[in-house]
Structure 1
Amino acid sequence: MSTDTGNDARQQWKAWHEERTETVSAPYGPLALTGTYWIADATEGRIPAIPGHWAVDGENGERGGAVLLTATAADGLTVDGRPLSGTVRLTADKGPAAAARADHGGRKLVVIRREGLWAVRVYDPGSAGRRAFTAIDVFEYDEDWVSPGVFRPYDSRRRVSVRNADGRERGLGLDGELAFTAAGSGFTLQVGVEVDGTLWAVFADGTSGDGSYRFRFLRTPAPGVDGRVTVDFNRALLPPCAFADHFICPCPPPGNTLPIVVPAGERRVLLG
């Protein structure tokens, strides 16, 4: 790689890191998450620290098609910007937390569904984590951790059971293997394909739990028609659960723990 090209890549990585820092520290970024509450665990439809009555709508009980939120004006809840007095049907929020339909005093109440079960996430701009955040610690950019790779899709999507950050086992969808060379040797990671065609992997390596968080995410651009894609570990990401304990990120599936040290990408969250 020429000096000019290397400098350009370094500057692009620096801009990416700065944007990433702004994203995670935003008012409704991952640092703002203060709780994930499963409606199945709610006693008589009441969720800690959230007013209103929460229940699952549908004949299949907890696996119904929406959540029913009932509140009075005194509860101070709003939905779509209007005070709620009565009952409203909420489906899973698809966009960023800031766009969630339900709000309580500036806290966004995000409705999610995982494997048929419903939960409400609370995002509070005044969270302790957001107040304490100082930076994302990263390894220095190193062009040696950028290499060509090849995506090899499976004949059909596979689903494996993996432990999640909250200790529960959940399914993880995998669409193929990403083959690449690092530290002079060839490796593969099992990856999923996102809606936009980009690849996503959960991986661990020799730094995990010591030089970096216990596992990280790797994202790549969408592969070309020949499956070729650039693999850049300088952009390895901390999972959301590194920023708040209430996320349920999947741990690496079997085969996704690399037997090498990968001193590239994000390392840990720094709190003051």
Structure 2
Amino acid sequence: MSTDAQQDSRDGRDGSGNQDFQDWQRWHEERIVAVAAPHGPLSLTGTHWLSDYPDGRIPAVPGQWRTGRDEVVLTGAPEDGLTVDGKPLAGEAGLTADRGPIGSSRVARGERRLVLLSREGQWAVREFDPQSPARHDFRTIDATPYDARWSLEGTFRPYDTARTVRVANADGRERGLGLGGEIAFTLDGTEHTLQAAVEPDGSLWAVFADATSGNSSYRFRFLRPGAPDEDGRVKVDFNRALLPPCAFADHFICPFPPPGNTLTAAVAAGERNRIDA
């Protein structure tokens, strides 16, 4: 085999692997753009739990935010400069948790977006500011180039009933993490499993750590395989291991890996760390 062919084989770019490499490169570039977007994760400057502000007044966030039974009531005056659904707020507005893209959140103040979050019955207001220092300091995402070795065939084994485990979160609080089954795969002759949640569209989501975590990569990462086929087969592609949102802003509440999701192997693939200028 020629030197060029050997290099292509190592990079996963030989023959049929060429398309896989190109797809990964496109995915990586799109991830950088999405992270650096005006209301991407780098723009999060605060997560304010309303239980910490009994009077509904959050420093540096305009308006009064009061929790109701199934909603939050926001009271604003013209001088607050708030808009709800694109219209200036002068009075009250009933709000529920935002589900869509940050840029389409109901409440705004100029370029800033004020996003309602609900977790386990607790409400929070998140502030996304395109002028955040983190967004302006960001340069790129350090990621290992595509290697076919890390694209594995796996099997999803659903649980008979969904489970919830309590895990620590990045903000120091413990919360429930829903799990729908486990993904089994073989790496270097050894079988491993990852507990995973099942998303509404059938795709999977796993929070994992490995022997590189906290050393050559961030302390934990996300893996988002597609939906398994009817036989439970699923692609486990660590080339697309993701940095969690809390790698980009300290105000995210990312869950840590559940028990059993710390791999003994070193997964030298996927996104590794954020790089700033």
Q: Could you tell me the TM-score, scaled by structure 2's length?
A: 0.94
**Cross-structure match for 1:4:** 15
Is 1:13 the counterpart of 2:24? The answer is yes
CA distance in 2, matches of 1:106, 1:220: 34
Q: Could you tell me which amino acid in structure 2 is paired with residue 198 of structure 1?
A: S
1:28 to 2:32 alignment: no
1:185 shift after superposition = 1.2
Residues of 2 paired with 1:44 and 1:56: CA distance?
10
Question: How many Å apart are 1:7 and its aligned residue?
Answer: 1.4
Q: Deviations over 1:170-216 (max 9, x none)?
A: 00000001000113211000000001110100000000000100000
Match of 1:61 in 2: none
- SS of alignment partner, residue 254 of structure 1: coil
Pair 1:190-2:201 in alignment = no
Displacement of 1:43 in angstroms is 4.4
Partner of 1:230: 235
Give the equivalent residue in structure 2 for 1:37.
Answer: 48
**3-state SS of paired residue (2:16):** helix
The counterpart of 2:154, out of the listed 135, 145, 149, is 149
Aligned twin of 2:206: 201
Closer/same/farther in 2, CA of residues 267 and 41 from structure 1, 3 Å limit:
same
| 2:5 corresponding residue in structure 1 | none
- Alignment of 1:114 onto 2:125: no
Question: Percent same amino acid at aligned positions?
Answer: 60
Aligned mates of 2:124, 2:59 — CA distance in 1 = 12
Aligned equivalents of 2:131, 2:13: Cα separation in 1: 46
**d(CA) in 1 for partners of 2:38 and 2:48?**
20
What residue ranges of structure 1 are gaps of 5+ in the alignment? 59-64
Q: Which residue of 1 aligns with 2:180?
A: 175
d(CA) in 2 for partners of 1:67, 1:128: 29
The alignment's C-alpha RMSD in Å is 1.0
Q: What is the Cα deviation at residue 237 of structure 1?
A: 0.1
Q: Are 1:137 and 2:145 counterparts? A: no
The aligned amino acid for 2:218 is Y
* 1:89 aligned residue: 94
Secondary structure of 1:48's counterpart equals coil
Letter in 2 for 1:150: T
Contact 2:241–2:271 (CA<8 Å) still a contact in 1?
Answer: yes
Give unmatched runs, 5+ long, in structure 2: 1-11
Match of 1:260 in 2: 265
In structure 2, C-alpha distance between the alignment counterparts of 1:183 and 1:92, rounded to whole Å: 44
Residue deviations 1:208-259 (CA, integer Å, cap 9, x gap): 0001000000010100000001110000000000000000000000000000
Whole-angstrom CA distance in 1 between matches of 2:199 and 2:16: 29
- Structure 1 window deviating more from structure 2 (84-93 vs 41-50): it is 41-50
Match of 1:51 in 2: 62
Aligned residues: 266
